[in-house]
Amino acid sequence: MALNKEKFIEEIGSMSVLELSELVKALETKFGVSAAAPAAGVAVAAAAAPAAAAGGEKTEFKVELSDGGAEKIKVIKALRTVTTLGLTEAKKAVEEAPTVIAEAASKADAQKMKEALEAAGAKVTLS
């Protein structure tokens, strides 16, 4: 059974962030590979390791939508502007809070997400 590339891409595009994460993990397990960027990822990790060991600043943050707040429509709109989520995925993330919306965001990106979502009335946790 051969899959059409366009149909496969459409199917992936309709998945939630959680479903995509599970798909990536399943593919990594099935084929014994890692989805990490090969050379660039190693260079970044190697550069970040000494900084972390020396007590430097944290470079990657997990952004969690702790509470969708009272004005969920504003939060959904804000979430869509700071992520690549579609309307359905953003709505689901806000309704099912607490939800992780970014696993390894840079400090600047994490702060941008937090500020935009909190301005819309949501509660956001960075870790």
Residue 42 lies in a domain: no
Residue 104 lies in a domain: yes
Are the beta carbons of 110 and 63 closer than 8 angstroms?
Answer: yes
**Of 27-36, 40-49, 65-74, which has the strongest mean pLDDT?**
65-74
Residue 49 lies in a domain: no
- Round to whole Å and give the CA distance between 13 and 86: 9
When divided into structural domains, the chain yields a total of 1
Residue 97 lies in a domain: yes
CATH number, domain at 79? 3.30.1390.10
Residue range 101-117: average pLDDT? Answer: 88
Amino acid identity, residue 102?
A
Is 15 or 120 the better-scoring residue by pLDDT? 120
Q: pLDDT (tens digit, 9 = 90+) per residue, 44-70?
A: 444 454 544 445 677 888 889 898 888
Domain that holds residue 103: 59-126
pLDDT band at 42 (very low <50, low <70, confident <90, very high): very low
Residue 64 lies in a domain: yes
Residue 87 lies in a domain: yes
Residue 86 lies in a domain: yes
34-56: b or e for each residue (b if 16 or more CB lie within 10 Å)?
A: eeeeeeeeeeeeeeeeeeeeeee
Is 86 or 2 the better-scoring residue by pLDDT? 86
> How many CB atoms are located within 10 Å of the residue 101 CB?
24
- Round to whole Å and give the CA distance between 109 and 92: 22
Residue 32 lies in a domain: no
